[in-house]
Amino acid sequence: MTMTDKELLSAIRKLRLADLSDGMDALGLVNKGSMSTDMRPIRPGISFVGFAWTVKLAPSEETFKPCETVEEYMALNNKYCSNIYSFMGVMEQEDVTDHVLVIDMGGYPGGILGSENMMRFHLNGMVGAVVDGGCRDSFECNLEEVNAFCTKRTYHHVSGRMKLDGIKIPVNCAGVTVVPGDIVCADDDGVLVIPRDKAEEVVKFARAILEADQEVRTSHYRRLGYEPDYTLNRLG
């Protein structure tokens, strides 16, 4: 029986990326969808699952010239940002609930994500963001408990460095081709992308793998005198 999007996300959120990766292996999709180990959470404990909403950036032909006044700098910065962040206007016209913002910057160390826009993405319904590039304002992002993974940490902006090169198209993010609507899964171990048409099969195997693991670990807990925790009953 085909799951609805809501049912599928609910099922996947009960599973670990380790189980989902094993489920991919069971379908012969070994290392498919596995982002580079350079893709890391901005702090421990971040996890999310959602449908990919993609953005591609490319190197800009223009950059900053010396500015004589603050107003001159602000005008130039606004010009560059109006191009780069124009995807946000599209996003705000759509229902992006349960989506993950996936940004392909080719690994460039510029901060497309920061403490202000990450909150805006959250207000729009995004469950998290994954960028093959930079996140800045790290301290503030973590105070705000925003959900972001990136391959670079930086203080640089993308303004004057990158330009928008496409939205809602297939992108390459940390070594993985991500198609809009693919399922992006993230936890402390990294980021895994599951093709939507394979997701239910992956879940079938992953559930069985997790059930077997929980049974064995419950026995270990008992023998070692550990107090049971929620990880022994993730499937409810």
Structural tokens at position 62 = 């223009």
Where are the chain's structural domains? Answer: 1-32+195-226, 34-194
Percent of the chain with pLDDT over 70: 100
Superfamily of domain 34-194: Ribonuclease E inhibitor RraA/RraA-like (3.50.30.40)
Helix (H, G, I), strand (E, B) or coil at 178: strand
> What is the per-residue pLDDT across 77-86, written as a single tens digit (0 to 9) for each?
999 999 999 9
- The CB density around residue 149, as the number of other CB atoms within 10 Å, is 27
> What is the per-residue pLDDT across 44-62, written as a single tens digit (0 to 9) for each?
999 999 999 999 999 999 9
pLDDT of residue 222: 96
Distances (CA, A) of 123 to 1, 216, 221: 33, 41, 40
**Angstrom distance (rounded) from CA 209 to CA 176:** 24
> What is the per-residue pLDDT across 90-108, written as a single tens digit (0 to 9) for each?
999 999 999 999 999 999 9
Distances (CA, A) of 27 to 10, 22, 60, 67, 178: 21, 9, 40, 57, 18
Quote the distance between the C-alpha of residue 220 and its chain's center.
Answer: 33
pLDDT of residue 236: 81
Does 224 have pLDDT greater than 60? Answer: yes
- Segment 164-189 shows an average pLDDT of 97
Selection from 74, 148, 163, 79 nearest residue 114 by Cα: 148
pTM for the complete prediction?
Answer: 0.94
